[in-house]
């Protein structure tokens, strides 16, 4: 247990704010070089977990080791090797884009000439070099996000934490960020990513957990989780009649409903489609591949949070 | 309190550097007020009131009114600069800009950050004081080289007010709540610390209160130094300040970490 390749190891990790339990005894481990995802609805406890990992928030109970070091005992040594892109933008509005990076480098004790070189590399990597002299308030949301990621890389961290890195970005910016994250992963960085986007988790993560109300519901590689928990395909029926729902339940199908759709999770969509067409010929049905979103909604329900 | 000390490292200076860099981005707007302010004061008070009050009784002798208030201006400058830095400005960094949230993801501890904030607040007080000395010196109201003592001394004075400010920042619910300490502590000190009139004119009980105010002791030291004297009794003023500043610094850091660690 806890070999050198284990970057994070959490056991019975718990965080309470007063009477409220935000993280409720979770266990997980992240291996060196993997991209590990944390999914969950608003308030699931993702950011709270992340803050405990980068030693900003003390644990209520349990153990948490990062690089084999205890977060309570060695925060400085741990933080020197982590880069954090936090959920909220906290760039320095008084400095230019470039200065944001060089000032940050000083906090890690990087000597000035090397820091400038590194800042330049990172701004080029994130496509921000042309904007190096801009003030922060003149940047769009997407550019700010990219700058926060660049800043998180200034110390060449062994562990990169990305807390909702693409929330609020347009599709182009998201793809660009994904592209950079993939490059980093190829370079062997260990990445911890939280997100609300299923496509993001599906394309980036080697392994993920889905959290809800402070607990981990499932853990595994995304494709495998979908396959084992949902099935291969989903049949969607729009504006289904109540009789169809009864029929589906009687037939022992794996079904879910929302306001106006009925979903059947199955290994063979074609068989279900035929069965429905046979008894309810007028219904509009489609078959598609099951995805992470199906798993997510199945596990966490369809009602709104917070 | 011992824990506070253990968590402070030389990295606190990185925070000081950050604040200094921000200050010098807009150095013109920052350095102009301390340069111009004393000129206005000396014109209004020195020439205006000074026309009525030519001489002020002071320590058994008399001195000119402008020479009397000039060190008072320096002392209040340090107070305002340092106190407003670690109240309003620190609050903006903490609450609106989330600067500290970014800083704690680096090897800095919260204690480093708060120590850096206070050192910067003290430095800002000293910078304001030094710039003001240039203007006041132009009126021939500073007796060098003794007056040079004012510069390092203003750093200690600034540290006191920076620490005091941080204590308030740690407890105010919102930024407008700084109005209370400003009107309850800072403004009365500005007026009643022997800055604009000698304390001897006050009734006994009021003099006793004034003697408890830190700004009284700061003004005292600065006035003597400005007049080119360093009498031995200034040691009491110094002692008072040091004894008050050290625990206040620790308290400020402690209260801020309590507010920020969740
Ligand atoms: N400082 C705090 N004091 C009290 N409660 C808090 C505090 N921080 C977070 N919480 C609560 O803990 C729960 C988990 O919050 P957290 O920020 O970890 O959620 P999250 O999964 O990151 O959600 P989101 O997707 O909205 O970012 C929420 O209900 C939140 O209100
Ligand atoms: Mg969050």
Domain residue extents for chain A = 6-220, 231-290
Question: Who has greater pLDDT, A20 or A274?
Answer: A20
Q: Which helix (H) or strand (E) holds A259?
A: none
CATH number of A6-220, picked from 3.40.50.300, 3.60.10.10, 1.10.3470.10, 1.20.1280.290:
3.40.50.300
Beta carbons of B210 and B216 less than 8 angstroms apart: yes
Give the Cα separation of A58 and A14 in Å (integer): 10
Would you call B106 and A104 a contact, using CB atoms and an 8 Å cutoff? yes
Tokens of A257: 């409903």
Q: Which range has the top average pLDDT, A177-191, A251-265, A269-283?
A: A177-191
- The pLDDT of residue A3: 52
Q: What's the mean pLDDT in A284-296?
A: 88
Label residue A11 by pLDDT band (50, 70, 90).
very high
Give the Cα separation of B219 and B192 in Å (integer): 11
- The pLDDT of residue A298: 83
Find out whether the beta carbon of A86 lies less than 6 Å from any atom of ligand 1. Answer: no
- The pLDDT of residue A126: 95
Cβ contacts of residue A69 below 8 Å, gap of 6+? A77, A78
How far is ligand 1, taken at its centre, from the CA of residue A103, in Å?
29
Give the Cα separation of A11 and A65 in Å (integer): 9
- DSSP state for residue A232 in the 8-state scheme: S
**Whole-number average pLDDT of chain B:** 94
The pTM for the full model equals: 0.92
Beta carbons of A203 and A172 less than 8 angstroms apart: no
Tell me: pLDDT of A2 over 60.
Answer: no
Instruction: Indicate the number of domains in chain B.
Output: 1
Q: Which of A87, A92, A109, A150 to mutate to test the interface with B (most CBs of B within 10 A)?
A: A92
Tell me: pLDDT of B213 over 90.
Answer: yes
**So what CATH class is A231-290?**
alpha beta
- Give the ligand 1 atom nearest the CA of A87: 27
Find out whether the beta carbon of A40 lies less than 6 Å from any atom of ligand 1. Answer: yes
Tokens of A10: 């959490």
Nearest in space to A263 (alpha carbons), one of A281, A282, A290, A243: A290
Chain B CB contacts of A86 under 8 Å are: 101-102, 105
For atom 27 of ligand 1, the residue with the nearest CA is: A42
The whole domain housing B114 covers 2-261
Backbone φ and ψ of B225, nearest 5°: -65, -40
- How many residue pairs from chains A and B have C-beta atoms closer than 8 A? 69
Tell me: pLDDT of A1 over 70.
Answer: no
- Give the ligand 1 atom nearest the CA of A164: 27
How far is ligand 2, taken at its centre, from the CA of residue A213, in Å?
13
Give the Cα separation of A248 and B147 in Å (integer): 93
Return the number of other C-beta atoms located less than 10 Å from residue B226's C-beta. Answer: 26
For atom 24 of ligand 1, the residue with the nearest CA is: A42
pLDDT in tens, A117-154: 999 999 999 999 999 999 999 999 999 999 999 999 99
From first CA to last CA, the distance across chain A in angstroms is 38
Q: Measured between CA atoms, how close is A204 to chain B, in angstroms?
A: 24
Would you call B105 and A58 a contact, using CB atoms and an 8 Å cutoff? no
- By three-state DSSP, how is residue A209 classified? strand
Q: Does the beta carbon of A75 lie under 8 angstroms from any beta carbon of chain B?
A: yes
Q: Which of B6, B20, B107 to mutate to test the interface with A (most CBs of A within 10 A)?
A: B107
Q: Which helix (H) or strand (E) holds B190?
A: helix B187-192
Give the Cα separation of A287 and B32 in Å (integer): 72
Give the Cα separation of A102 and A109 in Å (integer): 11
Tokens of B115: 């120590």
Would you call B98 and A109 a contact, using CB atoms and an 8 Å cutoff? no
Q: What's the mean pLDDT in B185-200?
A: 91
User: Of A48, A51, A208, A211, which is best to mutate to test ligand 1, by the most ligand atoms within 8 angstroms of its C-beta?
Assistant: A48
Q: What's the mean pLDDT in A25-36?
A: 97
Cβ contacts of residue A248 below 8 Å, gap of 6+? A255, A262, A264
Chain A CB contacts of B109 under 8 Å are: 75-76
Backbone φ and ψ of B168, nearest 5°: -70, -40
Label residue A306 by pLDDT band (50, 70, 90).
low
- The pLDDT of residue A275: 87
- The pLDDT of residue B124: 97
- Give the pairing of strands A82-85 and A159-163: parallel
Q: What's the mean pLDDT in A40-44?
A: 93
Specify the residue for token string 């014109």.
B43
Alpha-helical (H) ranges within A88-152 are 97-107, 112-125, 141-152
Q: What is the largest CA-CA distance in chain A?
A: 75
Return the number of other C-beta atoms located less than 10 Å from residue B258's C-beta. Answer: 11
Beta bridge partners of A9: A29, A65
Radius of gyration of chain B (CA): 19
Q: Does the beta carbon of B24 lie under 8 angstroms from any beta carbon of chain A?
A: no
Residue A134 buriedness (CB in 10 A; 0-12 / 13-18 / 19+): middle
On the CB side of A42, how many CA atoms lie within 13 Å of its CA? 6
Nearest in space to B106 (alpha carbons), one of B3, B1, B12: B12
Q: Does the beta carbon of A91 lie under 8 angstroms from any beta carbon of chain B?
A: yes
Return the number of other C-beta atoms located less than 10 Å from residue B135's C-beta. Answer: 20
Q: Measured between CA atoms, how close is A103 to chain B, in angstroms?
A: 7
Q: Which of residues 108-137 of B touch A (CB under 8 A)?
A: 108-109
Q: What's the mean pLDDT in A95-124?
A: 96
- The pLDDT of residue A4: 55
């Amino acid at each position: 247990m806890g070999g050198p390749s284990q970057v994070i190891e959490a056991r019975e990790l718990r965080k309470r704010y007063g009477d409220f339990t935000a993280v409720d005894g979770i266990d997980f481990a992240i291996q060196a070089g993997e991209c590990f995802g944390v999914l969950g609805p608003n308030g699931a406890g993702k950011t709270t977990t992340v803050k405990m990992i980068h030693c900003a928030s003390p644990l209520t109970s349990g153990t948490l080791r990062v690089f084999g070091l205890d977060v309570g005992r060695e925060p400085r040594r741990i933080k020197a090797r982590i880069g954090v892109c936090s959920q909220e933008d906290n760039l320095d509005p008084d400095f230019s884009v470039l200065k944001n990076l060089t000032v940050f480098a000083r906090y890690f004790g990087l000597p000035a000439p090397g820091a400038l070189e590194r800042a330049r590399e990172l701004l080029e990597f994130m496509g921000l070099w042309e904007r190096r002299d801009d003030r922060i308030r003149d940047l769009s949301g997407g550019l700010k996000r990219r700058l926060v990621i660049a800043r998180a890389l200034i110390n060449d961290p062994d562990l990169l934490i990305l807390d909702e890195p693409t929330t609020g970005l347009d599709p182009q910016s998201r793809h660009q960020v994904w592209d950079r994250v993939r490059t980093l992963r190829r370079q062997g960085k260990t990445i911890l990513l939280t997100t609300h986007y299923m496509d993001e988790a599906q394309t980036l993560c080697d392994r993920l957990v889905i959290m809800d109300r402070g607990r981990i519901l499932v853990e595994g590689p995304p494709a495998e989780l979908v396959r084992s928990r949902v099935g291969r395909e989903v049949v969607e029926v729009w504006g289904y009649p109540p009789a169809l729902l009864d029929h589906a339940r009687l037939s022992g199908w794996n079904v879910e409903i929302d306001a106006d759709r009925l979903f059947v999770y199955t290994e063979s969509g074609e068989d279900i489609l035929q069965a429905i067409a046979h008894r309810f010929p007028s219904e509009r049905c489609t078959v598609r591949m099951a995805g992470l979103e199906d798993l997510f909604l199945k596990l966490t329900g369809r009602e709104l949070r917070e | 309190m011992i824990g506070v000390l253990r968590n402070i490292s030389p990295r606190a200076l990185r925070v000081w550097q950050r604040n200094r860099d921000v200050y010098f981005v807009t150095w013109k707007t920052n350095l102009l007020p301390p340069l111009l302010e004393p000129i206005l004061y000396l014109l209004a008070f020195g020439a205006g009131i000074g026309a009525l009050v030519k001489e002020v009784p002071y320590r058994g002798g008399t001195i000119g009114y402008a020479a009397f208030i000039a060190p008072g201006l320096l002392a209040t400058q340090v107070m305002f600069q340092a106190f407003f830095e670690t109240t309003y400005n620190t609050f903006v960094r903490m609450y609106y800009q989330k600067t500290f949230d970014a800083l704690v993801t680096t090897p800095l501890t919260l204690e480093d950050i708060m120590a850096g904030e206070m050192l910067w607040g003290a430095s800002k007080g000293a910078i304001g004081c030094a710039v003001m000395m240039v203007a006041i010196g132009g009126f021939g109201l500073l007796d060098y080289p003794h007056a040079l003592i004012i510069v390092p001394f203003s750093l200690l004075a600034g540290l006191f007010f920076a620490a005091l400010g941080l204590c308030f920042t740690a407890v105010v619910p919102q930024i407008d709540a700084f109005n209370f300490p400003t009107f309850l502590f800072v403004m009365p000190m500005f007026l009643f610390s022997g800055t604009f009139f000698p304390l001897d004119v006050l009734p006994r009980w009021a003099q006793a209160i004034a003697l408890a105010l830190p700004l009284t002791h700061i003004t005292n030291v600065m006035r003597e130094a400005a007049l080119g004297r360093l009498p031995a009794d200034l040691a009491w003023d110094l002692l008072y300040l040091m004894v008050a500043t050290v625990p206040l610094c620790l308290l400020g850091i402690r209260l801020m970490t309590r507010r920020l660690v969740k």
